[in-house]
Amino acid sequence: MRKKGLSMYQTQKLTYLFDSLYAVNNICFWHYTKDWELLDTNCPWINEVRNFFFDSKDNALKTYASNSTMPILYPDRLCLTWAIQPYIVDDNLDSFYVLGPFLNSSVSEINFKRLLDDWHMSISSQHRMMEVQKEIPVIPYSLFLQSVRMLYYTLYGKTPGNLTTTSFPTLNPLSSKNTLAPTKKNGSTAHDITITEHSSYAMECAMLKHVETGNIHYQDELQNTELSADNYLVGLMSPGDIVRQEKDAIIVFVALITRAAIRGGMDPDEAYSLSDYYIQQIESPDCTDLNNIMDIHFLAYDTFIHRVHEIQLQGKEYSPFVNDCIALIHRNIYEKITLEDLAEALGYSTYYLSSQFKKQTGQSIGDYMTDLRIEKAKEMLTYNNISLTDLSAKLHFSTPSYFSSVFKKRTGLPPSAYVQSLSKPASSSQP
């Protein structure tokens, strides 16, 4: 029997949508009554993840959903994220559709186990959750938001407007009403802190690295590494006020990229003056349109990157075609690009290109590419949980063992030792 308010066509579309989301991105769906009785789901880990969803849920959910059709972003106490879509029929709450859980960045087994330990789970339950964690999809926010948009459109026949990570209403999974919230081990109670979603640390580091290095081809690289400025989120600072939230987010972002630009060689006075300019633009009384605010966001980022790029080129008297060659290498560093590919793209013979590149830079093209790939490898080992096999394949080394030998030759440490060194504090010198 069809659900109240859903036509046969809508039911068929929902079935197709849920099947597609699970088949392509492993995104599960859940259908609940308005009283939170489970009607249907395709989640293979129902008992494991369902408890975390419910243990954190407070009464604010029903209060909000009864007055709005907008979806709700909901991070649970294990940092798994869900989207709750209220289904309203004739101005009355009929049921809830839920998508999730998902992670927007990889979580190491060590950190995930720490989360489980904080909640005093049994050993057997922890083992099962560690297995489930490997199956939970890790996907960008932009992709997840697109899935939520499709669900909203299927239910209501229209789009949910300008739905972004910052306009997504976010509930507090650790509210004062949550009696299951953990306490500090020293006996004092935990602070009532609203848990909101932030960009992964890897994303922030990647975006700031582009400023610091003056990488004017950052857009190509961010897309290639599945990190996008569209997904950048600094957290929920002004709940209930979307415009203020966006302004606060950009002010924080401008402060970060200003310091990255200074590290990249920009004069501090110039950098802070440019920062003041963009913050003044953001705080202008006339700046109230979200599209204009986001335009300032991307303009500030792009301007700082190009300014650092100009500064770093000063004193490097390379010919235009060598600069073009360097830019082409950076843009295609995750592709299997050869000297022949570069020469053909630039319109020069391989001999002329290689000889001029070595003459002007002091390095062969092959050595330059290898050094750049090792730098990228160091970034990924620092900020991502990635296997040696996947890393060597992504950077187009013939075998993991060959990658390890090159990495050790360039850095003095094999990859495993390099990762271990990251967690060790620097030893202080004795007087």
Phi-psi region for residue 90, left (φ > 0), alpha (ψ -120 to 50) or beta? left
Instruction: Please tell me the predicted confidence (pLDDT) of residue 402.
Output: 94
Q: What distances in angstroms separate CA 417 from CA 185, 202, 380, 387, 401, one per listed residue?
A: 33, 20, 15, 14, 14
Q: What distances in angstroms separate CA 361 from CA 77, 202, 323, 355, one per listed residue?
A: 52, 30, 10, 10
Directed axis angle between helix 339-346 and helix 365-383, to 10°?
110
Maximum pairwise Cα distance, the chain = 80
CATH code 3.30.450 region(s) in the chain: 8-156
Distance CA 83, CA 97 (A): 8
Cβ neighbours of residue 154 closer than 8 Å, sequence gap 6 or more:
10, 13, 14, 17
CATH topology of domain 320-419: Arc Repressor Mutant, subunit A (1.10.10)
Does the 8-156 domain belong in CATH 3.30.450? yes
Query: What pTM does this model have?
Result: 0.42
What pairs with residue 82 in β-bridges? 74
Closest to 262 in 3D by CA, of 208, 300, 302, 225:
208
pLDDT digits (tens, 9 = 90+) for 263-277: 888 877 788 888 888
What does 209-224 look like in DSSP terms, one character per residue?
HHHHHT-TTHHHHHHH
Instruction: Please tell me the predicted confidence (pLDDT) of residue 413.
Output: 92
Q: What distances in angstroms separate CA 4 from CA 37, 68, 161, 383, one per listed residue?
A: 16, 18, 25, 48
CATH code 1.10.10.60 region(s) in the chain: 320-419
Instruction: Please tell me the predicted confidence (pLDDT) of residue 64.
Output: 56
What dihedral angle (degrees, nearest 10) is formed by the CA atoms of 207, 209, 212, 214?
A: -70
Instruction: Please tell me the predicted confidence (pLDDT) of residue 242.
Output: 67
Instruction: Please tell me the predicted confidence (pLDDT) of residue 69.
Output: 84
CB of 141 within 8 A of CB of 163? no
Q: Which residues of the chain have pLDDT under 70?
A: 1-5, 54-67, 77, 105, 118-122, 161-203, 220-242, 291, 314-316, 383-384, 423-431
Instruction: Please tell me the predicted confidence (pLDDT) of residue 67.
Output: 62
Find the helix or strand (DSSP H, E) in which 87 lies.
strand 81-89
Distance CA 86, CA 89 (A): 10
Instruction: Please tell me the predicted confidence (pLDDT) of residue 354.
Output: 94
Instruction: Please tell me the predicted confidence (pLDDT) of residue 257.
Output: 92
Instruction: Please tell me the predicted confidence (pLDDT) of residue 339.
Output: 92
Show the tokens assigned to 25: 């991105």
Q: Nearest-5° angle of CA 206, CA 211, CA 419?
A: 35
